[in-house]
């Protein structure tokens, strides 16, 4: 079989050569899927993202160029990197307390605290914060996060501008993050107090 560089394959792809495109996909597909799967944790999601990357390459085949060495690896892995970043950004916007919840559970696991209790307590705090929000923030947040409506759909339903909806959702997320941060600090304080109490108890035992 004749060997082609990425630059050779790209030249053929620009001539709408589907066989060359398939060969390029075969060269990089498995590695890209592995790269993304390792970072997003889902094989099917990684497959879908890689399919999108190659679709974008095909659609932009006349604008894309190889690097000075004639390789398309840099272009493809850069696209994969930004795909992963987009995934993280989307997850953080969907679960505004995800990072801090992870830290809280790490503390709980290390200190052998009941994690189910902490999660239930945290969910109750979040529910309370949402209930206490001004109506404009609560409506925008619930329509976005609980009913999965787009900014445009929420703006139409509430008869407000899209920018106002974005501002209200951002304000709601900030309020939730602040509440969760206070809870996290409370968990840390409780752990420190527990450690002190245990140490004090042990010290008392040594005096008996």
DSSP-derived letter for residue 15 is: T
Question: Domain extents for the chain?
Answer: 6-93, 95-207
pLDDT tens digits along 37-46: 887 777 788 8
pLDDT exceeds 70 at position 177: yes
pLDDT exceeds 70 at position 106: no
Distances (CA, A) of 201 to 6, 113, 188, 204, 207: 69, 19, 20, 5, 10
pLDDT tens digits along 144-175: 877 888 889 999 999 999 899 888 888 888 77
DSSP-derived letter for residue 2 is: -
Helix (H) or strand (E) holding 52: helix 43-59
Assign a CATH topology to domain 6-93. Answer: Rna Polymerase Sigma Factor; Chain: A (1.10.1740)
Q: What CATH code would you report for 95-207?
A: 1.10.10.10
Q: State both tokens at 145.
A: 């996060």
Residues 159, 162: Cα–Cα separation, whole Å: 9
**For the chain, percent of residues with pLDDT exceeding 90:** 21
Distances (CA, A) of 156 to 59, 78, 173: 33, 36, 21
Reading phi first (left if > 0) and then psi (alpha if -120 to 50, else beta), residue 159 is in left
Number of CB atoms found within 10 A of residue 206's CB: 6
pLDDT exceeds 90 at position 207: no
Distances (CA, A) of 92 to 101, 149, 181: 12, 17, 15
Residue with the two structure tokens 């004749």 = 2
Taking the whole predicted model, whether its pTM rises above 0.85 is answered as no
Per the prediction, the chain carries an average pLDDT of 75
- CB-CB contact of 138 with 154 (8 Å): no
Instruction: Kindly give, in sequence order, each residue whose CB lies less than 8 Å from that of residue 143, ignoring residues fewer than 6 positions away.
Output: 149, 153, 154, 157, 158
């Amino acid at each position: 079989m004749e060997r082609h560089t990425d630059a050779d394959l790209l030249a053929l792809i620009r001539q709408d050569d589907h066989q060359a495109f398939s060969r390029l996909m075969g060269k990089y597909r498995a590695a890209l899927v592995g790269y993304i799967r390792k970072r997003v944790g889902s094989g099917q999601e990684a497959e879908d993202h890689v399919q999108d990357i190659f679709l974008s390459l095909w659609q932009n085949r006349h604008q894309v160029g190889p690097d000075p060495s004639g390789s398309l690896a840099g272009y493809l892995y850069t696209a994969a990197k930004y795909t992963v970043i987009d995934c993280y950004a989307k997850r953080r916007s969907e679960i505004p307390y995800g990072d801090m919840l992870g830290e809280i559970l790490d503390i709980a696991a290390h200190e052998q605290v009941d994690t189910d209790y902490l999660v239930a307590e945290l969910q109750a705090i979040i529910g309370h914060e949402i209930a206490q929000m001004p109506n404009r923030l609560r409506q925008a947040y619930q329509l976005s996060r609980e009913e999965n409506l787009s900014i445009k759909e929420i703006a139409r339903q509430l008869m407000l501008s899209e920018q106002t909806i974005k501002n209200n959702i951002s304000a709601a997320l900030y309020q939730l993050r602040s509440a969760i941060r206070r809870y996290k600090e409370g968990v840390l304080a409780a752990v420190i107090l527990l450690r002190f109490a245990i140490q004090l108890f042990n010290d008392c035992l040594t005096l008996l």
